[in-house]
Structures are given as structure tokens and as C-alpha cells.
Structure 1
């Protein structure tokens, strides 16, 4: 399974106000493993960056002046994500901006939903941790992901951090395999197969409790009996 963890930075919060994408960052997962492949691009939005947005990501108008416009990078970007499942934190925001850019430059591109599946990691986090903070910083703290470099938002850095968080958040046991053995069909062992012990195996050791351990056990039972009444398993 191929997944792309994606993040964007923008000039502001609303496409209806003419705001545009200024940075795209993506990292690739195949079968839940980071491959080392990534896509990263700064984009000239052909408009000013709002001061409030600049405080969040630190990307200035001067930094973007010599960068390509979206139309110059769209084919490479779409080729990178084509057919993958996108993992995005607060997906409607990023997908809304990407679809807005695609529609603005050429209607033949269609929407991202026609090219990729989408997993919203924010919705997933809210399901797993209801009533708690589920922004990326809070999830990093909850799952022990190092985000000390994240003084400002950045699309590629945030995508890399989100990839770690997503893998930890969804990394529960997916199959039961006793002793690491697989069935002949390639699936997990059902645990019903008989595996005889080797005839030459050494006998299992018998370890008896010490007198101190017996005394501690008796004292514990006496305390339970005093507090709760009769104890059925007295020695």
C-alpha cells in the first residue's frame, strides 16, 4: 500500500479571499514504512502573504519571489501523489486549497478525490482521543515524537512529523502470530496447530519459593482475611 503524508502552507486561511498555496511537503510510505522519497516545493502565490500566516510559518514574500508558480509544478506534484492514499491532518483545509489551485489553472485536472484516497489524521485522532487536544504538537507529546525543531510550521517538516505520529497512532496489532509462525496460506497462525516438543529438550526447571517468600505470602493473606473475612486459598 502506498501512502503520501502531505502538508501545505498558505498565504492565509480562506480560498474565498484569494489565498493561495506557498509550500507543499510530502513524504512517501509503502506498506507503512518510510521510503525516503519526498516531494517539497515552495510556490510563488502571485500575491502577498498575510502577516498572521507569516507568523505561523515564517515564509516571507521575499522568499517566494523567485519560486515557480503552481502551474509550473503541478504535473510533477500530481505525478508524485497519483493513486496514493493521502494522509493529511485536517484534510479539508489542504484538499480545499489544492483543488482550488487545480481548478484555477486547468479544469481538466479535476479534484484530488478523483486521483487519491484521503485519510484525515485529525478525525482519526479525535476518534481515538475524544475530548483531548489533537493538534500535531499535542499528538507529538502524546506519542513521544520529537518535534523540537518545529519552532515554526513548515510543510515538509510537518509531513515528516505527521508520518511518525500516524504510524504510531495506527500501529496497533494487525494480526496474531504465535511464536512468529505463519500459516501455509501466508496469513497469521491461528494458534490451533499442534507443534510437538523436541524429544531432546531439557526438563523445565522447578523453582520453589523461599521461606521469606512463603512468610510474605502468609502475611498478605492474613491482612486480606482481616479486612475482608474468610480467605479460601489459605495454605
Structure 2
């Protein structure tokens, strides 16, 4: 059985440890099999990106921290051979930043990037998540981490169905 997990973070500020929402979608043998979502209490009270994701300190202040959610996150990632994200360098930076901030051992998994894959496999003027979803006819509640993770999973599966390999989407560095 091949397990891949798509994930998407929303952040409160410009720092890598400021996750305020995480959505994950598990795929097994080419099918979506499970989803996970949580709001996260960021480490600082100022939420700078409310106009993007709609989240405020009032909505987040009583939510669990990343460290408190880590056992559930790690369990959801169990057995995955690959992580997938749209603009994976951002999500990798946040995952590693949050793990580092709380002294947690980050998963040692490669990342595939569906932006990189869409640039290689789809002829579009823009490769933002909402543009790729519109082109593929996928529903999207943009900047909702659960919706964005599911969209990244469906884009990944579509690109694989076109014959694209994981290696062609792999995030380097």
C-alpha cells in the first residue's frame, strides 16, 4: 500500500513557527482515504493575515498549540512515504519551523510540489491553487487549510494520472 499525505498550513505571521491552521488529506493507492483539520493557537497574539484566511486571535486563542496537536499530526502522517503541498517550500518551512520551535522531531519525508507539477504538466497562464482548481473543475474554499489540502491531493492524483512521476514534482533542497 502506498500512502501519501497532502497538507496545507495557514500562518498568523511571517515566521515559520506561526501555524494557525493545518489541513491534511491522506491518499492510499491513488485514492483519498482520510482528512484531518485543526485550528492552531499561534505562538504570538498578533494575527497579520486575517484578510487572507479569515482567522483572528479570538478564534485561535483557546485552540491547542502545535505541540499539543503533534501526537495527532504524527499519527495521521504514520506510514506516509511522501508529503505533498501546493507551493511545498512554504508548507515544508512551516512544518519544520513549528517542530523546531517546540523541540519536536520533524518527519524525515520528501516533499512533492503540485505547483512544480502543474507547471510541468498543465498549460496554464498561472499556477496558483485557485487557478489550477478552476482549470481542473475542483471545488475550493481557498485559504481554508482543509480545502487547500484536499485540492492539493486531487491535483497530485490528476498529475500522476497524466503520467507525471513523484520525482518530476520533488521539492529540492
Counterpart of 2:38 (choices 30, 38, 41) is 41
Counterpart of 2:85 (choices 62, 71, 88) is 88
Which residue of structure 2 lines up, in the alignment, with residue 146 of structure 1? 139
Give 5+ residue unaligned stretches, structure 1: 175-235
Distance in 2 of aligned mates of 1:140 and 1:153: 13
Counterpart of 1:158 (choices 148, 151, 173) is 148
Matched, 1:122 2:115: yes
Larger relative contact order (CA 8 Å, sep ≥ 6):
2
How high is the TM-score relative to the length of structure 1? Answer: 0.63
RMSD after superposition: 2.0
Matched, 1:25 2:18: no
Q: CA deviation at 1:168?
A: 1.9
Tell me, what secondary structure is at the counterpart of 2:161? coil
Tell me, what secondary structure is at the counterpart of 1:29? strand
Give 1 or 2: higher strand fraction: 2
Distance 1:166 1:50, change over 3 A: same
How high is the TM-score relative to the length of structure 2? Answer: 0.84
Distance in 1 of aligned mates of 2:30 and 2:59: 34
The structure having more radius of gyration, on CA atoms, is 1
Distance 1:104 1:146, change over 3 A: closer
| 1:15-59 deviations in Å (ceiling 9; x for gaps) | 3xxx50011100111011111x222111111313433x1111001
Which residue of structure 2 lines up, in the alignment, with residue 6 of structure 1? 7
Which residue of structure 2 lines up, in the alignment, with residue 136 of structure 1? 129
Aligned residues: 162
Which residue of structure 2 lines up, in the alignment, with residue 74 of structure 1? 70
Distance in 1 of aligned mates of 2:153 and 2:135: 15
Which residue of structure 1 lines up, in the alignment, with residue 59 of structure 2? 63
Give 5+ residue unaligned stretches, structure 2: 165-173
Q: CA deviation at 1:131?
A: 6.9
The runs of at least 4 consecutive aligned structure 1 residues that moved more than 6 Å come to none
